[in-house]
Chain A
Amino acid sequence: DTGVSQDPRHKITKRGQNVTFRCDPISEHNRLYWYRQTLGQGPEFLTYFQNEAQLEKSRLLSDRFSAERPKGSFSTLEIQRTEQGDSAMYLCASRSKSVNPQETQYFGPGTRLLVL
């Protein structure tokens, strides 16, 4: 399968614990995005990487959240001191370097986080 993959698919944790999610984009896609989707809502942008550089962060990304893409390939999203409000689906997407406007973002299956 050459699509975007995410691990784990599901995570249950207790409030206050740290969690880390991984995203493997489509190979050769230099752009990588993280979104968060809460129940009944559309995905909301969190952050964007071009290669290893984090070029944009949403104000939704509090200081408890950190994302990395150390070698410009896979990315990790860490949430420290989780809160119940962090419960959501975390979606990763990747996009090629093409400037073709029709080039879309390809999404992974997401990681569902439940904070108890």
Chain B
Amino acid sequence: AQKITQTQPGMFVQEKEAVTLDCTYDTSDPSYGLFWYKQPSSGEMIFLIYQGSYDQQNATEGRYSLNFQKARKSANLVISASQLGDSAMYFCAMREGVPGGGNKLTFGTGTQLKVEL
């Protein structure tokens, strides 16, 4: 079974509108972390936001927020007030286990976001 599922290969959004990128995950570990990264065409992975499995509140970082629904095992990224520079590939990733060990990341297949005028 896929550990991270991103069902939207591509999304379009109008500039200044909000957009939600979906991510569902699968783990039996009670301790895990969920990350969202942005990958522009240049290739570098840019960290956006983090949500821990024990966090009571949804994470927010500027225009990014994470809609974390633990029972449904979903961690959707919401980008508000989209900008042209937000056009990129977006990846959801999961770290299983408590922090302090190897903590490798498992990534989804990504969603290509295109912001239009």
Contact = CB atoms under 8 A, between A and B. Distances in A.
A42 B52 contact: no
B107 interface: yes
A51 to B, nearest CB: 13
B47 A56 contact: no
A33 B104 contact: yes
Interface stretch (A62-70, A75-83, A98-106): A98-106
Contacts of B33: 101-102
**Of A42, A55, A107, most B-chain CB atoms within 10 Å:** A42
Contacts of A48: 102, 104
Interface string B38-66: 00001111110010100000000000000
Interface string A49-66: 010000110000000000
A44 interface: yes
A103 B93 CA distance: 14
**Of A41, A98, A107, A112, most B-chain CB atoms within 10 Å:** A107
Interface of A: 31, 33, 35, 40-45, 48, 50, 55-56, 89, 91, 93, 95, 98-110, 112
Contacts of B100: 99
**Of B4, B46, B93, B99, most A-chain CB atoms within 10 Å:** B99
A55 B35 CA distance: 23
Given A41-B109, A42-B108, A42-B110, A102 B103 contact: no
A103 B95 CA distance: 11
9 contacts: A31-B102, A31-B103, A35-B105, A98-B99, A99-B99, A99-B100, A105-B105, A107-B44, A107-B45
Given A42-B107, A43-B107, A50 B102 contact: yes
Contacts of B43: 89, 91, 109-110, 112
A108 B109 contact: no
